Structures are given as structure tokens and as C-alpha cells.
Amino acid sequence: MPNENDKDNSPSIGRMVTLLFGVPWLEITAEVWKIGKKFWRGWANEGMYEVLEYNVTYELKDTKGELAHISKQEKVRYLQNNIISYQDQAWGEGEILLNYQCSPGVKADEYQLGHKRLILISLRDKKQKGDMDEFNIEWDSRDAFLRSSEDCEVEISHRTKKLLIQVIFPKSRPPLKASVVESTSRKTHILEQAAIRKLPDGRWRIEWQKDHPRLYERYIVKWDW
């Protein structure tokens, strides 16, 4: 004899099947995909500016690592209107940010945030969406590279298309080996001999570059010398 509950459930199951097959799932999935793409595009474009090219050079001036000169070239495109400042950053041991210079703009403020030093550059102008600037920034450091195993780093704080890191060594103290560490993703890349070259003037250079570096990643160049 059929169970009364089975009789009661049969119409409900039928209605559920009809409902499931009657819903236009393909259209719904397509709409969700469109909304997701718009959201991702908006998230990827957030921020005041994007960095088209980011080149940084650490030049070790003597064999003891007591003096160094750091220079940056950053080609930037603004993503919002009415931008009046740009943020630079630095880190390292010893005395850093000595003789700090930047162009365009002037240093307006400097403060410590965690392990890094942030520098606020006043543009002395109002930038609009689509405008571009090429920043030339440099400073000296003292007693920052005294050990036989040393490193320098770059943190990607804005969407960046091209990254180039160079470390230049004195003639009489070349790098013995070098690697690049992606700190956040915990990946290490051992640099081949082709990345370590002798320059025409006798000095030595480590060079490493990456297209579309990961946002918020810390790229650390390590070397023994």
C-alpha cells in the first residue's frame, strides 16, 4: 500500500523538477560572468596611477659596501583626476635617503611604516586622468651593504607593466652568485651567469627584469660578494 508521505511528496518533486528545468540557467550564468568581468576590471584599475616602467639601480661605490647610490626611473600614467602627489618608498640598513632628490615635484613628507620608509612627493601641479610623468629619483646610503651576503628589494605597490632591477659592483669586488626571491609567493630564482656581466669600465652588474610583476609582491635580489 503506498505511503501517504510518498503521495504528498510526489507533486512537490514534480514541481521542483519543472522549476529547475524551466529556469534559463545559461542566460543567468552569462549575466553572472558579465558582472564578474566588470567587477574584476574595476578592481584591477583601482588606484591613483599605474607604473608603465619601473627601473631601479643600486650602485655600490666601494669594496666595503659603505657607500651606495640608488636611482629610480618610473614612468607613470594617472588613473584619476586632480592628483597632486606621488608616493615613493625606500628601505635598508644604515643611513638611507641621504641627499634625496626627485623630479618632477619636491619631497613634502617622510615617515616610517613597518620595515619601509615612505616619501610623499608634492607634484606642485594637478594631474588629470591619462596624464603621464616620468619620475627621476635618487639618494645615497651609508653603511647599508657591509656584509658578504647582502640584498636589496622592490615592492610593487601599484599595477606595474615592466620592472628592471640592477645592482652595480666595484671592479675589484664582483658578485659571486645571485638570486631573486619573491617574498609573498615564496619563490626563489637562481640567476644564471648571463645575468651577471662585466661592464666596459670594469665594474660588474646584476640585472633582472620582469613583465607584469605581481601586485603587492616584494622582489628581493640577494647576492654573495
Q: Looking at residue 16, what is its pLDDT? A: 59
Q: Which domain holds residue 25?
A: 4-44
Same domain? For 62 and 102 the reply is yes
Q: Are 105 and 137 in contact (CB under 8 A)?
A: no
Same domain? For 139 and 190 the reply is yes
Q: Looking at residue 42, what is its pLDDT? A: 46
Rounded to 5 degrees, φ, ψ at 204 are -120, 150
Q: Looking at residue 38, what is its pLDDT? A: 46
Cα 201 to the center of its chain, rounded Å: 31
Same domain? For 108 and 25 the reply is no
Same domain? For 34 and 73 the reply is no
Beta strand 116-127 pairing with 49-60: unpaired
Counting the structural domains of the chain, the total is 2
Q: Looking at residue 46, what is its pLDDT? A: 61
How far is the CA of 138 from the CAs of 19, 57, 59, 80, 132, in angstroms? Answer: 67, 9, 11, 26, 20
Same domain? For 12 and 103 the reply is no
The residue type at 210: K
Same domain? For 30 and 94 the reply is no
Beta strand 162-169 pairing with 49-60: parallel
What's the pTM value of the predicted model, to 2 decimals?
Answer: 0.78
Same domain? For 14 and 78 the reply is no
Largest CA distance in the chain: 100
Same domain? For 75 and 140 the reply is yes
**C-alpha grid cell, residue 183:** 617574498
Q: Looking at residue 28, what is its pLDDT? A: 53
CATH, residue 141:
2.60.40.3680
The length of the chain, given as a count of residues: 225
Q: Which of 81, 117, 89, 86 is nearest to 103 (CA)?
A: 86
Same domain? For 34 and 110 the reply is no
Cα 118 to the center of its chain, rounded Å: 15
Q: Looking at residue 172, what is its pLDDT? A: 97
Residues 6+ apart with CB under 8 A from 58: 68, 69, 70, 152, 165, 166, 167, 168
Same domain? For 37 and 144 the reply is no
Same domain? For 64 and 24 the reply is no
Question: What does pLDDT average to in each consecutive run of 10 residues of the chain (225 residues)?
Answer: 51 58 57 49 66 98 97 97 95 93 96 91 96 98 97 95 98 97 93 93 97 96 97
